Structure 1
Amino acid sequence: MADKSKFIEYIDDALEKSKETALSRLFFTYQGIPYPVTMCASETFQAMDTFEARSDDIVLASYPKCGSNWILHIVSELIFAVSKKKYECPEFPVIECGDSEKYQRMKQFPSPRILTTHLHYDKLPGSILEHKVKILVIFRNPKDTAVSFFHFHNDVPDIPSYASWDEFFRQFMKGQVSWGSYFDFAINWNKHLDNENVKFILYEDLKENLTAGIKQIAEFLGFSVTGEQIQTISAQSTFQAMREKSQETHGAVGPFLFRKGEVGDWKNLFSETQNQEMDEKFQELLTGTPLGVKLKYESYCQA
């Protein structure tokens, strides 16, 4: 696994900042979207325009709690399989997180660089779009995403907590959570799913058939790997395997990043009214869109 010391250092810093941050002070808004002050800064967003993408960069885009750490692990393992080089992560991999100098430092990093992001497609640095960088966009059904996001806030000791699930659900539906509304993120990415450099991945599909998912990712990225290598990566990338190593890869926050990883965990928290509210919102905004179809909402979100 990549050397995660930078990752852990950054997370420890963010947790330290979180200790003093009340929930009401957690967000600042940039171009209409709320971001956590503990991880993002408006100077960094302003500096992001200076980021110079390379055509062999790999972007992993997702809304929070949809599996980006999982995909990051899989792609790192694929790079190792084809190059025999351990993928080093010399910066915190989320492109919009960190200090404004990071884009200068990133010029020194060897290719291929893996960049993760929770940004809308049209908020990505312009050079990513100009270079037609390959983008894997990972989605998870909105009900499990919301539940996972809630647990993350309320289980990690130093992160500001919500008074209750009901309170979190209200804010989630209003988009008043870190990185804003799941639905806005979805609507924005929906327009670009057919771009030749964009590949859609469903979290639930990966859970169901990890080997097939890894094979598709390898093909999309143009990595030639053997069936045996795919099997090996698959065995190292199960939720269980990642959870067991989470403390050494992600530090104190590891066990919370890989909490349950289940499909259907929302049934433990959603009330009938909340179910109805989210079903109606999905119906209104995403049913019938290419993304709406790909999310298989009936299978995963209707009891």
Structure 2
Amino acid sequence: MEEKGMAKPKTALADVLEKSMIAADALERKDLIFTYKGTVYPTTLCTPEIFKAMDSFEARRDDVILAGFPKSGTNWFGQILSDLIALAVKNNKNEIHHHSDMPEEFPYLEIGDPEKYERMKKLPPRRLIRTHMAPQNLPESIFKNKAKILLLLRNPKDLAKSYYHFCLVFSPFPSYESWDGFFEDFMAGKVPWGSYFNYLSEWNKYIGSENVMPISFEEVKENTYLGVKKIVEFFEFSLNEEEIHTVVQRSSFQSMKKNSKDTHGAFGDLLFRKGGVSDWRNLFEEKHNLEMDKMYKDHLAATTLGTRLKYEVYCKA
């Protein structure tokens, strides 16, 4: 039974993913990706036309932006934010819009058709907008209009392993015959959405903004209640303790995996595989550890976001 005020299961996500998988099945591996302004993207999910049209997107100050590299937890945190927004809207007596009455839109800003930005103008507050994009590629209005951004972090070794397994089953992404082959492309930024290390380096430039709050996959895994409470305070959602606890309970990995058929259709099993911490140890060999440790040291160790990753805790061989 659906809890009162909670976000209802959506189908746009499953619809777009299904169409992209069907289209991907007809393409050669080399044609599954294209490069736009130096970054690799999946052909059946993104297009140059979408990126050009995205410039017209006008962010609102009360938009809820969820930014995270693929496999950093955007589906998990998206569920948390959807529930928080639904409850906050229910509690707002001045809220005249009803989210349930509005046609849904695919939740990722850079995925869909070029006309989506025009349709998004009609969406009621507060719009939840997810993105895998680096900040320099996002519409300027997000920063100019001071929309708040929740920035997801995940230790790069777990992220790489999760990304590898996802590529093996998700046909819009190029698959790999071996972990070594994937690791080489991942480290070179040749996977969809590019280099995770460059991604974090670019976001680090925005870390001093009061409108950007980094939060890590690992810290919310360790204490989901505290993590959700931080998110509530950052976005200034009007929720009581009981409502926060309800969202926490619904956002457990077990609960989301169980409900994934409703929320993500046949793709639930693909999107919710393990959701664990330190699972990378089952795949990384010494050569992989040495290469990634050096990459971290050279690009992230001296940065604020690099420190927030707690690399020594979660990525020590």
> Same fold, TM exceeding 0.5?
yes
Partner residue in 1 for 2:111: 97
Partner residue in 2 for 1:242: 256
After TM superposition, which residue ranges in structure 1, 4 or more long, deviate above 6 angstroms? none
- The alignment partner of 1:14 has SS state of helix
1:118 aligned to 125, 132, 146, which one? 132
Partner residue in 2 for 1:47: 53
CA deviations 1:65-93 (Å, max 9, x no partner) are 00011111111111122222666671111
1:280 aligned to 276, 287, 294, which one? 294
Partner residue in 1 for 2:95: none
What letter is aligned with 1:256? Answer: L
Matches within 5 A, 1:1-303: 1-84=7-90, 90-156=104-170, 160-303=174-317
Structure 1 residue 21: deviation in Å?
2.5
Kept in 2, the 8 Å contact 1:57–1:114? The answer is yes
Kept in 1, the 8 Å contact 2:42–2:172? The answer is no
CA deviations 1:267-286 (Å, max 9, x no partner) are 11111100110001100111
What letter is aligned with 1:36? Answer: P
Write the distance in 2 (CA, Å) between the matches of 1:169 and 1:151.
12
Write the distance in 2 (CA, Å) between the matches of 1:131 and 1:57.
10
Structure 1 residue 185: deviation in Å?
0.3
Gaps of 5+ in 1: none
Partner residue in 1 for 2:4: none
Gaps of 5+ in 2: 1-6, 91-97
- The alignment partner of 1:183 has SS state of helix
Write the distance in 1 (CA, Å) between the matches of 2:42 and 2:20.
10
What letter is aligned with 2:206? Answer: H
TM-score by length of 1: 0.97
TM-score by length of 2: 0.92
What letter is aligned with 1:293? Answer: T
Matched residues, number: 303
Kept in 1, the 8 Å contact 2:189–2:195? The answer is yes
State the identity as a percent. 47
> Could you say if the C-alpha distance between residues 186 and 157 of structure 1 is closer, same or farther in structure 2, counting changes exceeding 3 Å?
closer
Kept in 2, the 8 Å contact 1:144–1:263? The answer is yes
Write the distance in 1 (CA, Å) between the matches of 2:76 and 2:103.
15
Structure 1 residue 224: deviation in Å?
2.3
Which stretch of the first structure deviates more once superposed, 86-95 or 36-45? 86-95
Write the distance in 2 (CA, Å) between the matches of 1:107 and 1:183.
33
Kept in 1, the 8 Å contact 2:32–2:172? The answer is no
CA deviations 1:140-170 (Å, max 9, x no partner) are 0000101001101113467542111110000
Structure 1 residue 27: deviation in Å?
1.1
Partner residue in 1 for 2:94: none
